[in-house]
Structure 1
Amino acid sequence: MRVRDAVEADGGRLAALADVPTEVMADVVHDRTVSVAESDEKIEGFVGFEADEETVHVTHLFGAKTACERLIDEPIRFAERESMPVEILLPEPEEDIAEVAENAGFEESESGPWFDGQRTRRFRLENPER
C-alpha cells in the first residue's frame, strides 16, 4: 500500500468513501492536508488534517481499516515535528476507526460535539512520538 498526497482528481473516490458530495471533498483537498492510501492504483482510504496554533486536528479518516492504520501516521508525524498534540473526532459507532486511533496511542477524552444529529467521540494523542 502506497501513501501519497491527494489531488483534485481524487475527489470522486474520496467523496464516496466519506459519503459526502464530490464538491465537499474538492474543498477538503484544497483547504487541508490530505493523503490517500492506494493499492493497485485504487484508493483504499484517506486522511485529512489541519493545525491551529495549539493542536493538529484530524478532520477526515475514512476507508479500509488497514489503510487507516497507515494513514493515521501522517498527522502524527506532522504533530511530532511541530511538538503539538493530535485530536480526532469520530462519529459513533465508528469502532474500527476508534480501534485504529487507540492502537496508534490516542486516548478517548470527553465526549465530542453533536454533528448532524450524531454524537461524536473525541480522541487525543498528547505527545506523539514515532
Structure 2
Amino acid sequence: MVRRYEPLTVARLGALLADADETRRWRLVAEFLEEYRWEPSERRAALLQQEPLTTGDEHWDVFLAALTEHLAAKDGRGAPAWVETRSLRRFWFPFNTRAARVDAVVHAPAAFRRRGVFVSAQELNVA
C-alpha cells in the first residue's frame, strides 16, 4: 500500500507534542514549520483550521494558538476563531537565558507577545 504524503497540521502537531519531551517538542515545531513553508499558500490555511486538543501543558497550548495566528498573518489571512480562547496569565519564556529573554522581549512576534509567550522571531525561522 502506498501512502500519500500529508503535511503536518497544527492539530496533529498538538497531538504529537502531548507525548514529547521539550527537546522533541522543538524538533516537531521545526518540522511543522518546514512543512508549512513548502506547502502552496492556497493550502496553508487548511493546516491551521482544526483546533488542537490540549497538549497537557497550558504553555504549549497557547504556543500553538500564537503560532497559528502568526503564520496566518504572515500569509495575509485572519487566524481561525479557536486561537482567541488561548492566552497565559503569566509570561512564558521558552528559552530562558538572559540573552534569550532580552531577544524575545524585543523581537517576539505580536501574536506571541499578546498571549504572553516570549519567543523571538528568529527561533521560529530555524527550521
| Larger helix fraction of residues | 2
- RCO higher in 1 or 2 (8 Å CA, sep ≥ 6)? 2
* Structure-1-length-normalised TM-score: 0.32
| Larger strand fraction of residues | 1
